[in-house]
């Protein structure tokens, strides 16, 4: 996909963006988004965002992800850290999971930046980040990363006692060895989600039933340990590859004993990540409003 440069005061939204390096080894970067401020000392909720692309395509710097983050930053009035993770096949999973966890940890270190002189510090986070309101979010494979980062946050503390208040996942990439719902029974093992997992994580323990891609697999960690207080999950009605499995995930979270609040939104008659490529249609605007309302609650 074509890439978009960062910009100061985006003409459509007024959001400013810039690219930063947050890790030297491995070399990891992110794009930051800062909406218009009402005051120089204004504090904003922080969204650590994970882009989609099946773990092997696209970028935090892609045109459509850039436009999407500009819109979300402006409408939700949040500071966004959009993580550029490493991609397969040059870097198989779990590299992307580790990179996104590292990006979240890096952001959290700024909650007490004066005691973390060894980190690569970022003035936007120090001056304008409200670390009592940290969110994570993602789309497609990025939604899968959200699940896995939230699970890790449930058992591994973030720096400075930072907690994830909310997590959203739009059309998350989940799969498993047996088809569910409207997934095709004939030729299921040749379906794109099934085959893609073997390409991006060829050594995954348990293969397609690894809990990172099949959170409901036998022996998977309990969803009750999700490390956030609330979740928003969305599906598209005509997304044959992911709709039904994501609804099962939503139901499994509700039944798990997890103490948080979870919300499901479905847009009928739409395909996978329709809003990402058509954010200004009525349906695109509706999904984005659900996301921004979640971030503002």
Active site residues: 140, 238
Q: Which two tokens stand for residue 226?
A: 């999700």
Distance, in Å, from the CA atom of 203 to the CA atom of 110, rounded to the nearest integer, reads 35
Cα separation, 14 vs 37, in Å, equals 10
Give the HSE-up count for residue 68: Cα atoms under 13 Å, Cβ half-sphere: 29
Contact 124/34 with Cβ under 8 angstroms?
yes
DSSP structural state of residue 183: S
**Can you read off the two tokens belonging to residue 108?**
């959290």
Sign for the pseudo-dihedral over CA of 264, 220, 173, 164: positive
Let me know how long the chain is: 297
Residues 6+ apart with CB under 8 A from 74: 13, 14, 15, 35, 36
| Two tokens, residue 242 | 């992911």
Q: What is the largest CA-CA distance in the chain?
A: 59
Helix-then-strand count for the chain, H and E: 8, 8
Helix (H) or strand (E) holding 259: none
């Amino acid at each position: 996909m074509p890439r978009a440069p960062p910009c100061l005061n985006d003409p459509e939204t007024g959001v400013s963006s810039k690219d930063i390096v947050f890790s030297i080894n491995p070399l990891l970067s992110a794009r930051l988004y800062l909406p218009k401020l009402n005051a120089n000392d204004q504090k904003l909720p922080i969204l650590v965002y994970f882009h989609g692309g099946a773990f092997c395509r696209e970028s935090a710097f892609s045109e459509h992800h850039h436009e999407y983050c500009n819109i979300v930053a402006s409408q939700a009035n949040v500071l966004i850290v959009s993580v550029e993770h490493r991609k397969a096949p040059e870097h198989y999973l779990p590299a992307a999971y580790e990179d996104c966890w590292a990006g979240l940890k890096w952001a959290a270190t700024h909650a007490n930046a004066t005691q973390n002189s060894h980190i690569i510090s970022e003035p936007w986070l120090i001056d304008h980040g409200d670390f009592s309101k940290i969110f994570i979010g993602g789309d497609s494979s990025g939604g899968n990363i959200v699940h896995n980062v939230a699970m890790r946050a449930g058992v591994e503390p973030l720096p400075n006692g930072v907690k994830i208040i909310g997590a959203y996942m739009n059309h998350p990439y989940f799969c498993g060895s047996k088809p569910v719902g409207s997934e095709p029974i004939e030729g299921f093992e040749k379906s794109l989600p099934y085959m893609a997992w073997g390409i991006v994580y060829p050594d995954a323990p348990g293969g397609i039933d690894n809990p990172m891609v099949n959170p409901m697999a036998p022996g998977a960690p309990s969803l009750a340990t999700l490390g956030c207080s609330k979740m928003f999950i969305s599906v598209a009605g005509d997304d044959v590859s992911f709709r039904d499995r994501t609804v099962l995930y939503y139901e499994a979270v509700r039944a798990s004993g997890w103490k948080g609040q979870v919300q499901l939104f479905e847009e009928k008659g739409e395909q996978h990540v329709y809003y990402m490529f058509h954010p200004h249609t009525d349906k695109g605007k509706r999904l984005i409003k659900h996301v921004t309302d979640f971030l503002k609650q």
